[in-house]
A = this chain, B = another copy of it.
Amino acid sequence: MAGKHELHEKGLRLTPQREFVLAAVRQLGHATPEEVAEKVRSTHPGINLSTVYRNLETLENVGLVLHTHLGHGGATYHAAEELTHLHLVCSDCGEIGDAPIEAAANFVNTLSDEYGFKTDVTHFAVYGLCSKCASKKSK
């Protein structure tokens, strides 16, 4: 699966901790550093939180993972190749939904054409009410 060389190619050393962190990010989809640590501990109990933080940063620097801000303050991490969707964060229930990037295509073009702003769609969270909470409120 995850060839060992992808870390070498980036000039990084191949340590179990680093592999586990990368694997955890890929499995979790999106996860906070804390969640990544928890996941990693299921196979590598001794891993330190600092190590997770440092590896997330390192992996982000070489482009293997990315982080997004979903609002509550902390960052959440994604495998770079899996970040192909928008995040719809419900202000009511906190649920994080997905929508394809294409849904924002017009919006991105508008901002680019009219304001010269090159939107990084993969990095922003969209706030609002999910369909469940919206219908709950209209009752």
B118 engages A128 (CB within 8 Å) = yes
Question: Chain A: how many interface residues by the 8 Å CB criterion?
Answer: 33
- Name the residue of chain B whose CB is nearest to the CB of A123: B127
Kindly state whether residue A28 has any CB partner on chain B within 8 Å: no
| Contact A117/B104 with A71-B69, A124-B126 known, Cβ cut-off 8 Å | no
Kindly state whether residue A80 has any CB partner on chain B within 8 Å: no
Chain B residue numbers with a CB within 8 Å of A117 are 88, 97, 99, 126, 128-131, 134
B97 engages A115 (CB within 8 Å) = yes
Among B103, B115, B123, point to the contact of A131 (Cβ < 8 A): B115
- Name the residue of chain B whose CB is nearest to the CB of A134: B118
B106 engages A91 (CB within 8 Å) = no
Chain A residues close to B by CB (< 8 Å): 69, 71, 73-75, 88, 91, 97, 99, 103-104, 106-107, 110-111, 114-120, 123-131, 134-135
A69-B71, A88-B115 given. 12 additional CB < 8 A pairs?
A: A69-B69, A69-B127, A73-B74, A88-B119, A91-B120, A97-B117, A103-B115, A117-B126, A117-B134, A124-B124, A124-B127, A125-B125
